[in-house]
Homo-oligomer: A and B are copies of this chain.
Amino acid sequence: MVTIKDVAKLSGVSIKTVSRVVNNLAEVSPETRQKVQQAILELGYQPNTTARNLVAGKTNTVGVIIPHSADYIFTHPFFTQVLQGIAEVLSANNFNLLLHLAQNEAPYARLYSQRKVDGLILMSIPIGDPNIHGLEENGVPYVCTCRISETNNSTSWVDADFAGGVEQAMEHLISLRHRRIALLAGPMSLVSVRLRVLGYHNSLRKHGLPVADGYILEGDFTSESGYALATKIMKAPNPPSALICGDDMMAFGAIQALKELGYGVPEDVSVIGFDDISLARFSSPALTTIRQDTYAKGRMAAEALLAFMRDKHNAPPRQIMLETSLITRNSTASAKN
């Protein structure tokens, strides 16, 4: 490869001078600058990023960690939307994006200790994930797009108000005179799912409604699990008149199951999703759902991380809660009785 030395030799100056013109460090006479630039063009010289990084002690790259299978991630519009926000901000700030689909056991902090990244964005971390250890001890700059524990702590995160979101869904259904409302939740290993359950209970309590047996089911955010859980709950003794789903994919599966069981949606059973992915309006019926701004989540997380990396001290740990909103479409209607 052509190095700074080659350029120096060809233009008849020292490597330091070459370095100066490459980095625009002024103090170079116009003629020598000219000579050097000529040589650079002639040789097609490009500075070696690895060498620069070694000297500078940084990488200009941010690692995005998602501890799930590529299959799971890329079939969920949720992840890709957050990624979009992150990618845009990083790109605008000349940072590289290293996508790390953690599967095997290896502390996330290692990416930083090994100087592969300057900072980390952690997505969808399950409770008790052993790999999060060492983040603080190693001084790793990081931001989560989720919460990693139900109790308060000092991690910085950007996340939606899941409890509030489910409460919005509940208010909507209760105002439509539904009383038997089931929650087809996602995996309980996620704080966001537990918060949805919390919101569900809050609403029931507020309206003096009973907690029905078996009305909280655990799925995994796939349409298949939505299908399976809807089938199960509708075949049970006391079927609900409305379903709140953990995400839109589950809602799609649930609607499919309901149709196959002969229930009309929304005439017989109302269904509400969560996220408002772009395809929610194309389902049949168009899906009523709780919208969370996943794109903003990604952007804000990336911005918070960059701010933190720029100035560790003046950027206090930030915890940002994003509001959700109810998008009313055609999958919900008044309860029959």
Contact = CB atoms under 8 A, between A and B. Distances in A.
Interface of A: 1, 44, 46-51, 53-54, 59, 61, 70-71, 73-75, 77, 80-81, 83-85, 87-88, 91, 96-101, 103, 110, 113-116, 138, 223, 252, 255-256, 278-279, 282-285
B84 A96 contact: no
A50 B54 contact: yes
A114 B252 contact: no
Given A70-B88, A97-B98, A99-B99, A113 B283 contact: no
Given A101-B87, A114-B49, A278 B54 contact: no
A51 B103 CA distance: 26
Contact of A48 (B1, B70, B114): B114
A328 to B, nearest CB: 18
Copies of this chain, whole number: 2
Q: Which 6 pairs, one residue from A and one from B, show the smallest C-beta to C-beta distance?
A: A284-B284, A74-B84, A46-B113, A74-B80, A70-B84, A70-B87
A50 B48 contact: no
Contacts of A80: 74, 80
Contacts of A138: 44
A275 B138 CA distance: 45
Nearest to A76: B80
Contacts of A115: 1, 48-51
A46 B283 contact: no
Contact of A84 (B46, B73, B282): B73
A114 B278 CA distance: 38
A48 B114 CA distance: 5
